[in-house]
Amino acid sequence: MGKKRVRVGLMGMGTVGTGVYRLIQGHQEDLLHQTGVEIEIAKILVQNKEKKRTIDINSDLLTADPYVVLHDPSIDVIVEVMGGVDETKEYVLHALQHGKHVITANKDLMALNGEELLNEAVKNGCDLFYEASVAGGIPILRALVEGFSSDRITKMIGIVNGTSNYILTKMSQDGASYEDALQEAQRLGYAESDPTADVGGLDAARKMSILSTLGFHVGMNLDDVTCKGMENVTIEDIKYAEKLGYRIKLIGIAKKDNDLIEVSVEPAMVKQSHPLASVNGVFNAVYVYGEAVGETMFYGPGAGELPTANAVVSDLVTVVKNMKLGVNGRGMVAPYNEKRLKSNDQIFAKYFMRLVVHDESGVLAKITKLLAEHNVSIEQVIQKPHQSIHKAELVIVTHVSSKSGINYVLQELEGLEHVDEIKSFYRVEGNGE
C-alpha cells in the first residue's frame, strides 16, 4: 500500500461513535507510529446534523445520507456503530461489495447475519472485524482468532451482560430485591427503560452465538442458543446459593464434546472458588478452556464509551496494518466445521432445585426414588420448615445428570401429590466437570 493516509467513514455518532472520534482525533501521533500512515475521519453519518454534541466536529464532515459515506471512493474503511439490523446489514454488504473494509460493534447484526457477512468479506478480499460486539473493552474475539489459533477450545463460559450482573451483585451484596436492583440499574443508566434483552438473556445469547461461532468454527445461529432469563431469581435463592458455597450469575455456556455442541444462557450457580463468582458490578468476564493452554480468563469493562471505542479503534489499526501488507481478507476464517448440536440426553451438569413439600414422613424417600428412576442422584439436600403449617422447603443439589433426566424429574414432580411447588431450578457450574 503506497497510501500515506487512510480515510474512514464513521456511521453513527452516539456514545460509541463519539468515543471512536475522540480516540482517533486524540491519538493521532500514536496511530501514526503504530501504522505508519495518518488515519482521517472523512465522513460521519448522523441522524440530525443540527443536533448539539458533546464534542466539536466540523459540520462539513456530517451527513444524514448513508450513501454519501458508502459511495465516497476515497473512503477505505467503514466503522459501523449505528446499531440496527436489516438496514445496517444492507449498508455493510454494500461496503464490502465495493471493496471497503468494515468494523462493527453491532452484536445483533453479527449474531443474526455473521456467517453471510464474513463469507461476503472473504469473497471481496475485505476485512470484517467486530471485537467490540461481544464484551466491550475485552479483546476476547482477537484472542480466540489469534491466541487460540493452534489450540482447540472445548468450553467457554462467561458473564457477558453487565446489566444483569449489576442487578445480581446488588441482590447478593446488599440484599436488594430484583425490582429495587433493576430500578437502581436504570437510574444509573446501566439498564434501558425496557430491560428485557438484558435480564431476559437475549443480549447475552447473541454474544454467545458469536463466541461459539468463532471458538468452534461453526455457523451458530441465535436460535441454537437455549435462553433463560434471570427475572425469577429471588433473595431466597441467593441465600441458599451462599449457604451451599455458590453465587448466582447469568452465565453464557458454550461447550463442545466429541464435535457435539451445546450453547445456553441461564442463571446458574457458580462455585464461590471459581473466578467468575468474583466478577461483580457491570464487569464482564469470559473463561476459556483450551486443550493445549488449559484455563484462561479475560476480564474487564463490558460497555462504556471509551472501552468499547478502544476495541473498535484496535480493529481499525489491524485493518490498516493489513492494508500495508496487502493481506486484507486473508485472515478471515469463515466457519468450516459441521454444526452438530447436542440433544438433551447428551447435555450433562449438576442441578439445584428448591421445592415446597408436605412435611410428612416418607416424602423425601418418594422424591429420592423418583430421581433414581431417571438416573439422577443427590449430592446435597437441605430441609427446613416452611412458613405454612405442615409444609417444608426442600433444597436438592444433584450429582452430574443428563438434562433429559432432569426434565423428566421436573415434569413428574409437578404432578406428585406431596409436592406443592417447584420454587426454583438452576444449573450448577464451576466444579471442574
Kindly give, in sequence order, each residue whose CB lies less than 8 Å from that of residue 52, ignoring residues fewer than 6 positions away. none
CA-based nearest residue to 394, from 349, 431, 360: 360
In whole angstroms, what is the distance from residue 53 CA to residue 59 CA? 11
CA atoms within 13 A on the CB side of 176: 16
- Residue in 43, 107, 207, 423 annotated catalytic: 207
* 342 part of the active site: no
CB 202 within 8 A of CB 163: no
As given in the structure block, the three cell numbers for residue 121 are: 468479506
Q: Do the Cβ atoms of 282 and 191 come closer than 8 Å?
A: no
CA nearest to 227, candidates 184, 284, 270, 265: 265
Q: Are 143 and 242 in contact (CB under 8 A)?
A: no
Identify which of 264, 278, 240 has the alpha carbon closest to the alpha carbon of residue 424. Answer: 240
- Distance from C-alpha of 293 to C-alpha of 286, rounded to nearest angstrom: 15
- Residues annotated as catalytic are 207
